[in-house]
């Protein structure tokens, strides 16, 4: 099977098609129509075999996740996802793997009405890069640099589940089968918080998606906004799978420092809290308030019952080459 | 050096900045302003170490080429390049390599006034994926599917030079040092035909960039347009470096089947030939007319003095996994 057959077989037929795509797969480049009242939002993420996933990761999960991690970036900007470009480097044409991979990718494209508009397939060590494009109403994008002292700090979902799954895979933790299945689902099939991000456009003063762990990622908001934060570790949203599997301090460490959550962390000004609560009343999973922004630049203070919490492990979020 | 320091050190300071970038490197995603009279054009290409380049390829050439091959796709659409996203997978932080690589990439960004708006850096086997974005006036994009019987077939520049350089590197050919330096420059530092592509918007009925070799790439125009072509192999534009290094039939084979030319192949209707010649009079390197479109779908006839030319080698352009 050649390169062009591969694209035809796995990435063309019966994939979602959007009206704003003037020209999709099959020319030198794709051509898109951007509405004049919108700004274009672009995110890129790579996943490397042996680094971001391994041989035991189902191909369908790889297909889901390469899209999900990029859509999560768009969610953090308040954007609506529209078009994806996929660069796929494969050691060989493994039709079984490609069938499952393309299935996982197509499912998430269908769910979020994204169109695969192009990319490249090359031979080499298994590596995937996806560039996700989205749209946001002009001037309404969520940024990292708008947090102000007094704003409330929120996170969506529960934290640390994917990190627990990874620790189990690496034999650093041992947990019950049912809990393992739950956290593995979080590791393999993260849900980008697209609807939440769009609902935050009018209310959040800053937002970021959690890919490297809350401690590290909230640090980016603090640095960009030149503010600090007080976080109450007892308020961190934890799943039963996490709290029933490890002791309290270990659970908090997973929530603070393990990556792959793909939840949103954002700040809401006091003046927008009423609007926020009203909007969130319609939202299935209400985000959790975990603390407040302070005026001490880049100072992240972890508290329990008002006192400093000293239980943080040395590992603070994932930094390639760090 | 960590991931964020790496981006700061090599990919942020003193790079070109465009007015239409609302938010560049440093948030979850970039935010761009697309003019309402333009369509967005997106191309993605990957280069893998050991496949598309090797250890003897200078890092500056890798940086130039990963942008050039993508800009060449934009040129074939008639687009003006604007924004680049770079996914860089590195086995380690080699500061010397990164300095030269980023230098090569920044030079081409400066020349074409492109801004690097984001991307990803990850650890793994050396692989680069770049997604190039460009703009084209609404409805004026060049496509592959517009060639009509009777249109004239043109190519820019000279063909086969990069292929000759690669053959020399692989010890399949041996040529003089001065010729080798010239063709190696074509292999390492291809020039995307951006100005030509923009000048073709009003005159060409179809266009493609030559990455896999004329024979294969012209085949895409024929397939998309459901037409055929007659090509006079004596009209193929060949460099002195090529014609003085190999015999005539070998030179024609390089021109037809070797990749990495990054020239444009396009078709011009008889009715637009006057406009075309007028536009091209201002152009430094006038494209060469090599043949004509026929009404025989997907039939590419190679001729010499009106008779079929039978000298084509079996290898017809590069197909990964082929």
Per-residue pLDDT, B186: 97
- Annotated binding residue at A145? no
- Measured between beta carbons, the chain A residues lying within 8 angstroms of B121 are 320-321
Look up the ipTM and state it.
0.93
Q: How far apart, in whole angstroms, are the C-alpha atoms of residue B79 and residue B38?
A: 10
Mean pLDDT of A136-141: 97
Mean of pLDDT over chain A: 94
- List the B206-209 sheet strands across, edge first: B206-209, B264-268, B152-155, B288-294, B228-232, B300-304, B307-308
A84 in Cβ contact with A117 (< 8 Å):
yes
Nearest to A27 among B33, B121, B143 (CB): B143
Per-residue pLDDT, B285: 74
Beta partners for residue B127, in sequence order: B48, B89
- CATH class of the B3-137 domain in this structure: alpha beta
Q: Three-class SS of residue B100?
A: helix
Q: Give the percent of chain B with pLDDT over 70.
A: 97
B75 in Cβ contact with B192 (< 8 Å):
yes
- Measured between beta carbons, the chain B residues lying within 8 angstroms of A125 are 48, 124-125, 127
Chain A closest CA to B179's CA: distance in Å? 30
- Measured between beta carbons, the chain B residues lying within 8 angstroms of A45 are 87, 120
What pLDDT digit, counting tens, does each position of B96-136 carry?
Answer: 999 999 999 999 999 999 999 999 999 999 999 999 999 99
DSSP annotation of B49 reads: B
Q: How far apart, in whole angstroms, are the C-alpha atoms of residue B245 and residue B240?
A: 8
**Inter-helix orientation angle B177-188/B59-76, to 10°:** 60
Q: Fold identical between A3-137 and A152-307?
A: no
Mean pLDDT of A121-145: 97
Domain boundaries along the sequence of chain B:
3-137, 152-308
Contact criterion met (CB < 8 Å) for A29 and B77? yes
CATH of domain B152-308: 3.90.650.10
CA distances in angstroms from B125 to A43, A101, B49, listed in the order given? 22, 21, 8
Q: Give the percent of chain A with pLDDT over 90.
A: 89
The Cβ of residue A271 has, within 10 Å, a number of other Cβ atoms equal to 11
Q: How far apart, in whole angstroms, are the C-alpha atoms of residue A200 and residue B187?
A: 49
What residues of B are designated binding site? Answer: 28, 44-45, 52, 73, 119-120, 144, 209, 211-212, 260, 318
* Nearest Cα to Cα of residue A13 among A116, A123, A129: A116
What pLDDT digit, counting tens, does each position of A184-241 carry?
Answer: 999 999 999 999 999 999 899 999 999 999 999 999 999 999 999 999 999 999 999 9
Contact criterion met (CB < 8 Å) for A320 and B141? no
- Phi, psi dihedrals of residue A213, rounded to the nearest 5°: 110, 145
Q: How far apart, in whole angstroms, are the C-alpha atoms of residue B191 and residue B37?
A: 28
The pair of three-digit structure tokens given for residue B205, joined into one six-digit string: 């009925």
Contact criterion met (CB < 8 Å) for B48 and A129? no
The pair of three-digit structure tokens given for residue B23, joined into one six-digit string: 């938010």
Q: 10-residue block means of pLDDT along chain B (322 residues)?
A: 83 91 92 97 97 95 98 98 97 95 97 96 97 97 97 98 95 94 97 96 96 96 97 98 96 95 98 93 86 97 95 66 56
Thinking of the domain A152-307, which architecture would CATH place it in?
Answer: Alpha-Beta Complex (3.90)
Rounded to 5°, the CA angle A42-A43-A44 comes to 130
- Annotated binding residue at A12? no
């Amino acid at each position: 099977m050649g390169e062009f057959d591969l694209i035809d077989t796995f990435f063309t037929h019966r994939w979602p098609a959007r009206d704003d795509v003037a020209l999709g797969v099959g020319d030198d480049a794709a051509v898109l129509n951007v509405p004049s009242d919108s700004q274009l939002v672009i995110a890129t993420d790579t996943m490397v075999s042996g680094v971001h996933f391994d041989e035991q990761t189902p191909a369908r999960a790889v297909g889901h996740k390469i899209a999900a991690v990029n859509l999560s970036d768009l969610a953090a900007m308040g954007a609506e996802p529209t078009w994806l470009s996929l660069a796929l480097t494969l050691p060989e044409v493994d039709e079984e793997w490609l069938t499952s991979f393309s299935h996982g990718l197509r499912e998430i494209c269908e769910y979020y009405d994204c169109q695969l508009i192009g990319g490249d397939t090359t031979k080499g060590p298994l590596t995937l890069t996806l560039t996700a494009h989205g749209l946001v109403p002009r001037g309404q994008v969520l940024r990292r640099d708008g947090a102000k002292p007094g704003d409330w700090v929120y996170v969506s979902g529960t934290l640390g589940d994917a990190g627990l799954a990874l620790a189990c895979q690496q034999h650093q933790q041992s947990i019950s089968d049912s809990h393992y299945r739950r956290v593995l689902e979080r590791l393999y099939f993260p849900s980008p918080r697209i609807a939440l991000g769009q609902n935050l456009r009018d209310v959040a003063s800053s937002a970021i998606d959690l890919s490297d762990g809350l401690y590290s990622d909230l640090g980016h908001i603090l640095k960009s906004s030149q503010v600090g934060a007080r976080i109450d570790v007892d308020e961190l949203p934890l799943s039963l799978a996490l709290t029933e599997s490890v002791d309290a301090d270990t659970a908090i460490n997973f929530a603070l420092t393990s990556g792959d959550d793909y939840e949103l962390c954002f700040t809401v000004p006091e003046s927008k809290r009423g609007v926020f609560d009203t909007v969130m009343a319609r939202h299935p999973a209400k985000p959790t308030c975990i603390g407040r922004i302070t005026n001490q630049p880049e100072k992240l203070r972890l508290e329990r019952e008002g006192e400093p919490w000293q239980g943080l492990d040395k590992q603070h979020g994932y930094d390639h080459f760090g």
